Chain A
Amino acid sequence: MNSAPGFFSETFGKLRSDPLGICGLVIVVMVLLSAIFASYLSPYDPLEVDVYDRLASPSWQHWLGTDQLGRDILSRVLHGGRIALKVSLVAISISLAAGLVLGMVAGFGPRWLDRILVVCFDTMRSFPTIMFALAIVVLTGPSLNTVIGIIIITSIPTYARIVRTQTQAVRDRDYILAERAMGASTARILRHHVLPNIAAPLLILASMDVPAVVGMEAGLSFLGLGVNPPTPSWGAILNDGYSYLRNSPWPIIAGGIPLILVTLGFTFLGESLRDIFDPKLRGKGGDSG
Chain B
Amino acid sequence: MTGPVLDIRDLSVNYRTEQGMLRALRNVNLQVQPGRIVGIVGESGCGKSTLISAIIRLLAPNAEIAGGSILWKGSDLLTLDAKAMRALRGKEISMVFQDPMSSLNPVLTIGRPSTDVQHRDSRSRQEKRARAIRMLERVDIPNPKEQLDRYPHHLSGGMRQRVAIAMALMTEPGLLIADEPTTALDATLEIQIIHRLQKLQRDFDCSILFISHHLGVIAELCEEVVVMYAGEVVESGPMRDVFSTPQHPYTRKLLECDPARIAEVSRHLPVISGQLPDLVDLPAGCVFCERCNQAIEKCRTERPIAGNGSHNAACHLVNS
Contacts and interface: CB of A to CB of B under 8 A. Distances in A.
Interface of A: 2, 4-5, 173-175, 177-185, 188, 192-193, 196-197, 200, 283, 286-289
A192 B153 contact: no
B94 interface: yes
A174 B102 contact: yes
Interface residues of B, number: 36
B68 to A, nearest CB: 21
A196 B105 contact: yes
Nearest to A186: B86
Interface stretch (B15-23, B29-37, B107-115, B220-228): B107-115
Contact of B154 (A174, A179, A197, A286): A286
A286 B58 contact: no
Given A175-B102, A182-B168, A185-B86, A289 B155 contact: yes
B104 interface: yes
B155 A178 contact: no
B117 interface: yes
B152 interface: yes
Contacts of A197: 105-107
Contacts of B154: 286-287, 289
B241 interface: no
B89 A182 contact: yes
Contact of A175 (B56, B103, B151): B103
A112 to B, nearest CB: 12
Interface in B262-282: none
Interface string B118-154: 0110000000000000000000000000000101111
Contact of A174 (B94, B103, B112): B103
Nearest to B91: A183
B200 interface: no
Contacts, number: 79
B97 A192 contact: no
Contacts of B6: none
Given A174-B97, A193-B108, A183 B153 contact: no
Contacts of B120: 183
Indicate the member of B94, B97, B103, B151 with the most A CB atoms within 10 Å: B103
A196 B108 contact: yes
B105 A183 contact: no
B97 A178 contact: yes
Interface in B76-113: 86-91, 94-95, 97, 99, 101-109, 112-113
B109 A182 contact: no
B302 interface: no
A5 B153 contact: no
A73 B174 CA distance: 74
A183 B118 CA distance: 10
A162 B288 CA distance: 49
Contact of B90 (A182, A193, A283): A182
Given A175-B105, A193-B108, A288-B153, A182 B99 contact: no
B88 to A, nearest CB: 7
Contacts of A5: 149
Contacts of A192: 108, 112, 116
Contact of A4 (B106, B149, B152): B149
B167 interface: yes
B95 A181 contact: yes
Contact of A183 (B86, B102, B104, B108): B86
Q: Please provide the 7 A-B residue pairs with the shortest distance between their CB atoms, ordered closest to farther.
A: A183-B90, A289-B153, A182-B90, A183-B89, A174-B102, A181-B95, A175-B105
